[in-house]
A and B are shown apart, each in its own frame.
Chain A
């Protein structure tokens, strides 16, 4: 090979960058998210149901939160009617967080895992017990 030293050095540098995900994880615990639904308020609920179905919430909770923010703050609408026609007060603090008071055991579990950093808490206040960050 001509200039073999330089070419092999180049290949090694390339491999160091390109295989990063393969060696970075070695020796690190693969902590999987385990969101908890065992807050006192949820435990007392007769029917354990969020504002929409579990599957819908799992995929679209961010969409609902965004819509709620726009409805509450920009359109001054404070009532949400879900698919079943049930009414809810549009409020992160008083509706969502009433049941899911365990932010660090509920929201943060998956968000940390997927490296999602929602900016809800730039404005909103996290009550004691759900301690933020």
Chain B
């Protein structure tokens, strides 16, 4: 159901753009106004979310670790899996963000006779990392449409991406890989019953949206071509904040840019905001130093403490008078023991 609903929403978005451009000739709306609104929403929303997380106190010290914590000097400390200092946390975060190490530990639970066994399951990690990196490269490649002159690193990435020299325009590997990876991530949700059970429209919608973005992009580049010079006039206009809407750009371009705008605008409101969230995950970004540094819950009120010393000070006379032992200025040792022995004898 979730999948069908999300698919329907993406199809509706495509139809809205198609009708808006073909029927109502709202090129300026779909080419300029909506993209600007989406990008502004994206930046404000993302910063808002991150600042809000930053303001949220972390009540407990909860780094998730999977290695020996820093201890006695002759016990080998696992710096990456159980970081004790800021530097080690930084290294762990860098590797987490760039290599998805925690996902690499993904396991698959299976039954083997009566026993439960855990097997390695790397496919999710592979599809995930391939998807993220190809999306990054696709994003960087798009800079050729937003910069004039085009910086050399964009050309370099483009030439490496297209080095297979298949067809014209050159086939970009990342485009195909992105679509394949996102398709795998979708099929995984459909085919694994447990994953399908927990999948919601919020999981399917970004997948369908990205699938549609990749598909329209590939269609536009290789099949239903648009006038790239006019497209670049529009896109550089957006980047230069002096938008122009040239005539005669195919509708597929407006569909593509409308879907991308939707993705940008949807970003801060959805789980896609893990882009910023990964950096603010307490289970990742805290050092496992709770035996060295005391973590105080920021919302703790000042606890009124009545220590034993104070207690004794307050009730010393009364305590002595009924024979309760006191630590400070106790009455003479002999009397006390005698009294105590007498008392015990008397009771017996």
State the A residues within 8 Å of B (CB).
1-4, 7, 10-11, 14-15, 18-22, 24-25, 28, 30-33, 58-60, 62-63, 65-66, 110, 113-119
Contact between chains at B50 and A113 (CB < 8 Å): no
- Please judge, given known A-B contacts A2-B55, A114-B228, whether A25 and B47 are in contact too, CB under 8 Å: no
The 19 sampled A-B contact pairs (Cβ below 8 Å) are: A1-B54, A1-B55, A2-B57, A7-B50, A7-B280, A14-B46, A14-B276, A22-B241, A25-B146, A25-B147, A25-B239, A30-B148, A32-B233, A113-B148, A114-B144, A114-B229, A114-B232, A115-B158, A117-B159
B29 in contact (CB, < 8 A)? no
Contacting residues of chain B (118-152) with chain A, CB-CB under 8 angstroms? 143-151
Task: List the B side residues contacting A28 at CB < 8 Å.
Answer: 148-149
Q: How far is the CB of A24 from chain B (nearest CB, A)?
A: 5
Contact check, A11 vs B148: say whether CB atoms are below 8 A apart. no
Q: Quick one: which of B159, B168, B228 has the most chain A CB within 10 A?
A: B168
In the bound complex, residues from chain A placing their C-beta under 8 Å from that of B47 are 11
User: Is A62 a contact partner of B169 (Cβ separation < 8 A)?
Assistant: yes
Q: Which of B56, B228, B236 has the most CB of A within 10 A?
A: B228
CB distance from B156 to the nearest CB of A (A): 11
**B227 x A3 contact (CB < 8 A):** no
- Bound-state CA distance A89–B53 (Å) is 67
By a CB distance below 8 angstroms, the chain A residues around B298 are: 2
CA distance A119 to B164 in the complex (A): 12
A-B interface pairs (CB < 8 A), number: 83
Contacts of A113 in B (CB 8 A): 148, 229, 232
Whole-angstrom CA separation of A11 from B229 in the bound complex: 34
* Nearest neighbor of B86 in chain A, beta-carbon distance: A6
Q: For B228, list chain A residues within 8 Å (CB).
A: 110, 114, 116
Q: How far, in angstroms, from A66 to B170 measured CA to CA in the complex? A: 11
Q: Chain A interface secondary structure, helix, strand, loop or mixed?
A: helix
State which of B54, B147, B229 has its C-beta within 8 Å of the C-beta of A21. Answer: B147
Instruction: Say yes or no: A25 contacts B227, CB within 8 Å.
Output: no
**Does B154 lie at the interface of the complex (its beta carbon under 8 Å from any beta carbon of A)?**
yes
Q: Which residues of A contact B232 (CB under 8 A)?
A: 113-114
Known: A115-B144, A119-B165. A7 touches B229 (CB 8 A): no
A11, B50: Cβ atoms closer than 8 Å: yes
User: In B268-282, which residues have CB < 8 Å from any A CB?
Assistant: 276, 279-280
For the complex, is B225 an interface residue (Cβ under 8 Å from A)?
Answer: yes
Contacts of B149 in A (CB 8 A): 28, 31
Contact assessment for A63 and B168 in the assembled complex, using a CB-CB cutoff below 8 Å: yes
The chain A residue with its CB closest to the CB of B228 is: A114
Asked if B158 contacts A65 (CB within 8 A), the reply is no
Chain B residues with CB under 8 Å of A25's CB are 146-148, 236, 239-240
Asked if B195 is at the interface (CB within 8 A of a chain A CB), the reply is no
Interchain CB contact (< 8 A) of B143 among A1, A11, A20, A32: A20
Q: Which residue among B229, B236, B276, B279 has the maximum number of chain A CB atoms within 10 Å of its CB?
A: B229
Q: Give the distance in Å from the alpha carbon of A58 to the alpha carbon of B225 in the complex.
A: 10
Distance in Å: Cβ of B71 to nearest Cβ of chain A: 26
| Beta-carbon contact of B55 and A59 below 8 Å | no
Q: Please measure, in the bound complex, the distance between the C-alpha atom of A22 and the C-alpha atom of B50, giving whole angstroms.
A: 22
What is the bound-complex CA distance between A31 and B144, given in angstroms? 14
Give A70 to B55 CA distance when docked, in angstroms.
63
For B94, list chain A residues within 8 Å (CB). Answer: none
How far, in whole Å, are A120 and B158 apart by their CA atoms in the complex? Answer: 17
- CB neighbours (8 Å) of B37 from chain A are none
Residue B64 is within 8 A (CB to CB) of chain A in the complex: no
Do A33 and B229 touch across chains, with their CB atoms under 8 A apart?
yes
Report whether B227 and A59 are in contact in the complex, using a CB–CB cutoff of 8 Å: yes
Cβ contact within 8 Å between B147 and A3: no
